[in-house]
Amino acid sequence: MTSSGTPFRKGHGTGNDFIVVSGLDGLEVSPKQAISLCDRHLGIGANGILRVANASEFSSEFDLADASYFMDYTNADGSKSATCGNGLRVFARYLVEAGLEKRGQFQIGTRAGAVAVEISETDTDFANIAITMGSLSLGPMDVTVSTESGSWPAVCLGGMNNHAVSVVSDVADAGSLTQIPTALPDETYPDGVNFEFIAPISPKHISMRTHERGVGETLSCGSGACAAAYVHATSNNLNAPWTVQVDVLGGTVFVDSSVDGTLTLRGPAQFVASGTIESHLWQI
């Protein structure tokens, strides 16, 4: 941060948008700062802030393996998230374009640990960035998710972020999603959960809407797409390796599963703006 302000870039992964900031070594984004900057009327507007940090800043807290940089992710409501698949693609593109990493394979540190990234030399438009998201674990069973439009059973998954995935006939069935859906029993997710509503199109193709913890409905959710694809592949008895296409409101991503259950998220990352954040916004 300088007296004249902090440089930023604004980008998105299939509509999931972020403010990327660097040069704030050791200075985590505060909840008030995130709320202010992510406000779509009074700030820049985004689903979250991605602070570029040196991995050494967090290496005592998390197993970051060979990562040189850490994605310090803050939601629009000021809370922290372990990881974000769409944010990782934007973050990875930033690192390459800033000359901090080279195309090919490298790792990014997150609160969920080190994440492997691959950007091909031939992917000149950054349209197929691959993020190794890890594996999923089944959470509490017999959960019911409700919105103002209805109630559905949900498959609960953890391992990346917490997700509750419900199958609907049409993603519009979930309603407006202006209010936070409920998951019963109440004690299932004391720290909150991301809700996914998926509609099957074919055994290897689904559409999805998501309501993210701390944000609301978003145009895309990377870890949610992984959870949704996993539930769909399991219900259709797909044998790994498999690939499921996930159509989100902001575009399309693909989820690949290896034989050992490791999930990889593939999709685009785009930047749309850059500028300087006025210094007084960091004094909140």
- Known catalytic residues are 84, 221
Grouping H, G, I as helix, E, B as strand and the rest as coil, residue 37 is helix
Q: Are 151 and 135 in contact (CB under 8 A)?
A: no
Q: Are 98 and 104 in contact (CB under 8 A)?
A: no
DSSP designation for 228: H
Pick from 54, 48, 47, 44: which is nearest to 24 by CA?
Answer: 54
Distances (CA, A) of 145 to 66, 114, 154, 160, 247: 39, 32, 6, 20, 21
Do you find a cis peptide bond into 7, omega within 30 degrees of 0?
Answer: no
Q: Are 50 and 91 in contact (CB under 8 A)?
A: yes
